[in-house]
A and B are shown apart, each in its own frame.
Chain A
Amino acid sequence: MAEVNNRDEANRRVTVNVSDGALIPDRGEKSLFSAWRISFFGAIALLIILPTVRPRPYLDIMRFLPDGILATFQVTIISILIALAIGLVTGLGRISRITVINRIATIYVEVIRGIPLLVQLFYIYFALGQLVRVPRLASAIIAMSVCYGAYMGEIFRAGLQAIPKGQMEAALALGMSRSQALRKVILPQTFRVILPPVGNEFIALLKDSSLVSIIAVSDLLRRGREFASVSFQYFETYTVVALVYLVITLFLSKIVSLIEDWAERRG
């Protein structure tokens, strides 16, 4: 009786859009002079030309920065992994029918999203410092993960809700328990759906990780500041710092778009 277009249902592609960055290259854009290409190769070209033409400050700057790049990646990668774990738990909590769990997860998300990351960073660093001695790097990572865990939770929630109800029903009808259905049927589909927005969050976190330089973690930005404060070459130093961030984020955004393509092709 009811008219349902089976093709639509079966081949429906779910996309979750939770993102602030417009970094992901438009896949329609195949032109040689796409915005992405111009920015990416332009930045790389500058990073090659500047030290060649004026090695005096630029080559020195570029020798000084790699330690910072490493620290930036260290903070970013560890934080994103912890944020993913927090996000999974939070997302499940947000769709839980158990009121207490649901409320706790929602409060966490609301509170965190209402406080600027920089304030959280200070708060965790100094508040934790009152009780225990936390190394700077650790407190930076804790702050970043707790903050991004909330955003990740919203991505997981949207991803879980994007899976059609019939999937859970089919699994239950086969005799599976809810947790089996979740693990074998719902979550694998959720991971595929949230891959692009998680990629976006990774890039956003990498950019935000520059904030940790304020609590004296020697990341990319901090190393730049250290160099500039000794050499007084602020303009040149921050030019290189900005270009390095740009190359890294544009490169990562390309990878995210490739992952998006792959996920779509596997349908």
Chain B
Amino acid sequence: MDSNTDQNQPMRIRIRNATKAFGTLEAVKNADLDVAPGEVVLIIGPSGSGKSTLLRCVNRLETLSEGEIWIDNDLVTDQHGDIRKIREEVGMVFQNFNLFPHLTALENIMLAPRTVKHATKAQSTENALRLLARVGLQDKATAYPAKLSGGQQQRVAIARALAMNPKVMLFDEPTSALDPEMIKEVLDVMLDLAREGMTMLVVSHEMGFARAAADKVVFMDQGEIIEVGTPTEVFDSPRENRTQRFLEHIL
């Protein structure tokens, strides 16, 4: 696999001409997007515009119908490539957390390092405890997900993804299933991550987070990327009509 030669700066994520069709419905159409190492890119857009689908194509939870996605020098969309190796380096956080309900917070975090990377129990316990402390939940190590609030569950889910030591993190509306008072505790963890230089692709409509952390905002509508710019550009002086109308709608 060779990298694209027309790129001066090596990109962490390169999405080229990506199209994903479900039957006749094109959920994503001809999308192009670059994310540099350490960049935080926010994806916004109306419901059904293809935000989740695009994100899920990046770790191949969905397979593209056409186009290519690269993570560094690895072609994600290569059907013969080892997608598991790539997924180890791409963490994902879901709207509904998707914690494993039969495992404690600590076991949730330890499971993948233990089974995939064959880390020793001592190593992975130590690492998991450190990650729990990092998301502010050191006292919840032995709690089962059902006993945690939504905000706590999502923070455990972030720690679980970080345990694989990823170089990219994908977030699909990480706060939209949360009660308002819990949104901040999750966004704070994400802000920390962004400051530490994590490459992040985030589907979210949290304007505060976008202005504080995002390098780029991407507006999608009906499967297409309509506009890309800095948060100030997109939020304060959008070029496209559709972007304007959407922003009026959500503000």
Q: Confirm or deny: A106 has a beta carbon within 8 angstroms of a beta carbon on chain B.
A: no
Q: Are B87 and A267 interface neighbours, CB within 8 A?
A: no
Size class of B's contact patch? 35 or more
Closest A residue, CB atoms, query B52: A2
Q: Are B61 and A169 interface neighbours, CB within 8 A?
A: yes
Most A CB within 10 A of own CB, among B115, B145, B157: B115
Give the interface segment out of B22-30, B122-130, B173-181, B192-200.
Answer: B173-181
CB distance from B43 to the nearest CB of A (A): 12
Q: Which of A154-176 contact B (CB under 8 A)?
A: 164, 166-167, 169-176
The count of A-to-B residue pairs whose CB atoms sit within 8 angstroms is 98
With A11-B146, A172-B61, A175-B164 in contact, is A2–B115 under 8 Å at CB? no
The contact string, 1 if C-beta is below 8 Å from chain A, for chain B 91-111, is 110111111111000000001
The contact string, 1 if C-beta is below 8 Å from chain A, for chain B 117-150, is 0000000000000000000000000001111001
Q: Are A6 and B96 interface neighbours, CB within 8 A?
A: yes
CB distance from B53 to the nearest CB of A (A): 13
Give Cα A7–Cα B145 distance, bound, in whole angstroms: 11
Give the interface segment out of A107-115, A120-128, A177-185, A207-215.
Answer: A177-185
Q: Are A1 and B46 interface neighbours, CB within 8 A?
A: yes
Given A6, A164, A175, which contacts B116 in the complex, CB threshold below 8 Å?
Answer: A175
Q: Confirm or deny: B211 has a beta carbon within 8 angstroms of a beta carbon on chain A.
A: no
Given A1, A6, A170, A177, which contacts B150 in the complex, CB threshold below 8 Å?
Answer: A6
Given B84, B95, B96, B97, which contacts A175 in the complex, CB threshold below 8 Å?
Answer: B84
The contact string, 1 if C-beta is below 8 Å from chain A, for chain B 64-94, is 0000000000000000000011011011101
20 further contact pairs, Cβ within 8 A, besides A174-B164, A175-B85: A1-B205, A2-B95, A2-B176, A4-B95, A6-B96, A6-B97, A6-B150, A6-B177, A10-B99, A166-B96, A169-B61, A169-B98, A170-B157, A172-B61, A172-B87, A173-B59, A174-B112, A174-B116, A175-B112, A184-B111
